[in-house]
Each structure stands twice: as structure tokens, then as C-alpha cells.
Amino acid sequence: MSFTIAIDGPAAAGKGTVARAVAAHFGFAHLDTGLLYRAVGARVLAGAEAVVAARALRPGDLEADGLRTPQVAQAASRVATDPGVRAALVAFQRQFARRPGGAVLDGRDIGTVICPGAEAKLYVTASAETRAERRFLELRDKGEDVTRAAVLADVIARDERDMTRADAPLKPASDAVMIDTSDLSIDEAVRAAIAAVEARRGLT
């Protein structure tokens, strides 16, 4: 029997961390759908055509090195505005979502477009300033030469692009549980997410 958990939210809100923890707690498979777009973006940076790259995507491509760089993140955000790319990746995501044993998918449009019938939907968010500080510290720890101002500008630009794109803009599903992580620890955010899912499973 399948059970789908859709987790959406803007960049650096913590949805990936929450999604991995929720998947581990329930023993579900996890898909970071942003990696799909990063894999396509990486191929575009290497000279490929976006829709062709999306149609040729295979699960193993998500294990490629270098998918977490700022350059690939920007490329991913750009290719995600292409309706042809999004259409090419829909089937991949929906098939994963209904796999036996349960699945957790995190991204930008899981609860609204990819899996509108998901049994549980969460929207993980945080202020732009909080998210930019988290991303700055992450990049600094990796040795990236970045400034707080530049990272904040990047976060705001990505939000604008993701929320205003014509196809599948970033927004909460009408029935999603909102989790604002601005003032939450990782453990607190994970507990809130697990509680929300358990409520939907009738376990509370």
C-alpha cells in the first residue's frame, strides 16, 4: 500500500532535512526532486539542451558530483521555469510517489502539481534572512568565497523566480500543514512534521 508525503517550500527552509528525517522515521523512500532539476541544470551548463536533458534523465544521474554548487542551483532554477522540462520530469516523480511502502518527495510543486492527491502535505518555510544565513554558513563551511549580502540577494532572486513562474509556481497547497522553521531547531521542525503526518495517518 502506498502513502505519499509531499513537502514543499523555498530554498534553504529546511525541507530537505525534514524530508529525509520523516522518510527515515516512517521507513519510506525519499526523493529530493530538486536534484532532478539540478541534474538537468548541470547538463545545460555542460552544453546540453534543457528538454533533451530532462527526457534522458535516469535515477543514476542524481548521484553525480557537483549538483550542490551555487552555479548548478541557479541553472536548476532557470530550467525549472521551462514547461517542457517540467513536463518531462512529471512521470518520473509520480511513479516514485506511488511506490509500495510509502514515499516522501520534497520540492516546489509536489503538493500542488505533482501529487495533489498526496495523503499528507507539508509546506516548510522560513524568512528570507534566516534562509540566507543558513545558506551562507553552509557555503562558507565548504570553502566558498561568498558574502551574506550576495547570498541573500540570490535567495530573494530564486524566490521571485520560483513564485512567479507561469508553470507550477511555488505556493502552499490549500490543505498543506505550514511549518515555519525560522525559530525552530532541526529537531523541533522534524517533530512538528512527524506529528502532522501521524495526524493524517490517524495515529494520534
**Binding-site entries for ATP:** 9-17
| 3-class DSSP assignment, residue 164 | helix
Please state the residue numbers annotated as binding site: 9-17
Q: Which residues contact 17 (CB under 8 A, 6 or more apart)?
A: 186, 189, 190
Cα separation of 186 and 169, whole Å?
Answer: 26
Cα separation of 95 and 117, whole Å?
Answer: 13
Residue entry with cell 522515521: 25
Residue 61, exposed/middle/buried by CB under 10 A (0-12, 13-18, 19+)?
A: middle
Element (H, E) at 98: none
SS3 content of the chain, % helix, strand, coil (to 5): 55, 10, 35
| Lookup: cell for 133 | 544565513
Element (H, E) at 111: none
| 3-class DSSP assignment, residue 101 | coil
